[in-house]
Amino acid sequence: MSKPVTIIMIEDDEGHARLIERNIRRSGVNNEIVPFTNGTAALDYLFGSNGIGHLHKDRPLLILLDLNLPDMSGIDILRRVKENDHLKCSPVVVLTTTDDAHEIKRCYELGCNVYITKPVNYESFANAIRQLGLFFSVIQVPQAVA
């Protein structure tokens, strides 16, 4: 049996983080969620102090990423994750307010797996997150490559 997927949530807005978490839980997903409110802390966690990223070699990860972070652009994190041998297979879900076509295209080019624009309408937002939760419950995530 493979290990349960850990959800890394990189979201600077704590309100958003809370709403996302709640709605994921409502969809019945009980996986561990590790929240980060800035890019530096998230990178430290993902890549470790030496920046190699083999800390999580035996754990399947799923990254929930906001693009507008206070200390860096989410795109930088996306690039580093997809360039890293240990992490590049982990699915990255970009969940952000940016709906600029350029940004969306760029994210997919860099290897993002899903790009979702946060709807302001709460019904849609909650719906989207719940469906994302359902998606998480069925998605197969490989273990990070050793």
Partner 1 sequence: MTPNRGRWLQVALLSAAFVVLVAISLASIYWLNRARDDAAWVAHTLEVENNISLALLQIRRAESAERGYLLTEKNEFLDEFELAASTILPQLRTLQQQTKDNAEQQRALTEIFTLAQSRLDQFRQVLELGKERKVNQAAEMLRVNAGRETMNRIRELALEMRRIEQRLFRERTIAAERSQSLAAAVTTSGAWLVVILATISIALLRRSAKARDEAEAKLLDANLNLESIVTERTADLREANEEIQRFAYIVSHDLRSPLVNIMGFTSELEELRHDIFRRIETLSRDPATAPMPETADSDSDPQLSDTDQKLSQDFSEALGFIKSSIGKMDRLITAILALNREGRREFRPVRIDTRELIEGIVSTVAHQAAEANAQIRVEPLPEIVSDRLALEQIFSNLIDNALKYLKAGVPGDIAIRGREKLGFAIFEIQDNGRGIDPKDHQRIFELFRRAGPQDRPGQGIGLAHVRALVRRLGGTMSVASTLGSGSTFTITLPTKWLATSRDTAA
Contact 74, 45 (CB under 8 A): no
- Is 105 a binder of partner 1 (CB under 8 A)? no
Q: Which is nearer to partner 1, 6 or 117 (CB)?
A: 117
Task: Tell whether residue 122 is a contact of partner 1 (CB under 8 A).
Answer: yes
The verdict on 58 binding partner 1 (CB under 8 A) reads no
Helix or strand (DSSP H, E) at 76? helix 74-83
Q: Can you tell me the distance from the alpha carbon of 140 to that of 72, in angstroms, rounded to the nearest whole number?
A: 29
Instruction: Number of residues interacting with partner 1: please give it, by CB under 8 A.
Output: 17
Terminal-to-terminal C-alpha distance of the chain = 18
Looking at residues 75 to 104 of the shown chain, list those that interact with partner 1 (rule: CB under 8 A). Answer: 97-100
DSSP label of 145:
P
Nearer to partner 1, 39 or 53 (CB): 39
- Nearest approach, Cβ of residue 75 and partner 1 (Å): 15
The only residue of 2, 40, 68, 131 in contact with partner 1, by rule CB under 8 A: 68
Measured from the CB atom, the residue of 102 and 138 that comes closer to partner 1 is 102
Shortest distance (Å) from residue 139 CB to partner 1: 24
Integer Cα distance of 22 and 19 in angstroms = 5
CB crowding 77-104: b at 16 or more within 10 Å, else e: bbbbbbebebbebbbbbbbbebeeeebb
Q: Can you give the binding site for partner 1, defined by CB under 8 A?
A: 13, 15-16, 19, 22, 68, 97-100, 118, 120-123, 125-126
